[in-house]
Chains A and B, each alone.
Chain A
Amino acid sequence: KNQVEQSPQSLIILEGKNCTLQCNYTVSPFSNLRWYKQDTGRGPVSLTIMTFSENTKSNGRYTATLDADTKQSSLHITASQLSDSASYICVVSVSDYKLSFGAGTTVTVRA
C-alpha cells in the first residue's frame, strides 16, 4: 500500500478559481514534505518544502499547509491560471534519503 495518498486523482477548474489538493501520508519517521509541479513531458519542479515544525509555506499563488499530527498536507492554488495545468506530486521524505511519492493530482484549468 502506498504510504502517500493524494486526492483527488484529477480535477478540472475554471481559470481564476481556487482549488485545494490533498496529501495524506503514513510515512514514519518524517523529515520533510515537498510539493512538486510537473508539466506534461517535463521533470518535476519544486514548489514548497516543509519540515515537521512548519505548518504553512507559500510560493506565489501556491500555499502548502502541513499538519504533522494528522499527517495531512494540502496545496492551495489561488486564482488559477491556464499555466497551472499540470500534475502535482506530494513527496514525503524520511531520514536516510528515503522518499515516498504520491501518485499525483492532475489539474486542468479551463478558460
Chain B
Amino acid sequence: KAGVTQTPRYLIKTRGQQVTLSCSPISGHRSVSWYQQTPGQGLQFLFEYFSETQRNKGNFPGRFSGRQFSNSRSEMNVSTLELGDSALYLCASSFREPDNYGYTFGSGTRLTVV
C-alpha cells in the first residue's frame, strides 16, 4: 500500500515567486493536512481539508492557500515568497477524523527561498 506522496522533494525559488506543492494521500484517505516545519518554530499547522472543503486553518497569512480535489489529492500554494518561507512542508493524510484514526505523514517538500 503506497504511503503519502509529496512532490517535488526539493524546490528552490526566488523571493516574490509563487510555488505549488502537491500531496497524494494514502488510497481511501479523505483528510489531508499541511504543516510547515522550521528549525526555529518546529511543526506548525497550516490547514486541513476533508472532501474538498477546508475544515481547519492555522495562523498563517493569506499568501498560504490550499485546495483538495475530488480524488483527495491536495495542493498547497504560497504566493509572493519570502525568505522566511524556507522550510520543510509536510502533508499528512487520514481516513476520516485524524484524531480518531491517526494520520500518516509524507516525506515532505524542502523549499528554499533565495
Quick one: which of B81-114 are within 8 Å of A by CB? 88, 90, 92, 97-99, 102, 104-108, 110
The answer to the question of A98 belonging to the interface, with a C-beta cut-off of 8 Å to chain B, is: yes
Q: How large is the interface on B (under 10, 10 to 19, 20 to 34, 35 or more residues)?
A: 20 to 34
Q: Name the distance in Å between A8's Cβ and chain B's nearest Cβ.
A: 15
A73 to nearest B CB, angstroms?
17
A31 to B98, CA, bound (A): 12
Task: Look across to chain A and name the residue whose beta carbon is closest to the beta carbon of B105.
Answer: A43
Query: Beyond A99-B45, A101-B42, is A93–B99 a contact (Cβ under 8 Å)?
Result: yes
Contact with B105, one of A31, A45, A95, A102 (Cβ below 8 angstroms): A45
What total count of A-B pairs have CB within 8 Å? 45
Of all chain A residues, which has the CB nearest B104?
A46
Whether A97 pairs with B99 at a CB distance below 8 angstroms is: yes
In the complex, are the beta carbons of B43 and A89 less than 8 A apart?
Answer: yes
Q: Check: B7 CB closer than 8 A to any chain A CB.
A: no
Q: Which residue of B lies closest to A42 (CB)?
A: B107
A-B contacts besides A44-B90, A89-B43, A91-B43, 15 pairs, CB < 8 Å: A31-B99, A43-B4, A43-B90, A43-B92, A43-B108, A44-B43, A46-B104, A96-B56, A97-B48, A97-B98, A98-B56, A99-B45, A101-B43, A101-B45, A104-B42
**A contacts, CB < 8 Å to B:** 31-32, 34, 36, 41-46, 49, 89, 91, 93, 95-99, 101-104
Interface residues of B (CB under 8 A from A): 4, 42-45, 48, 55-56, 88, 90, 92, 97-99, 102, 104-108, 110
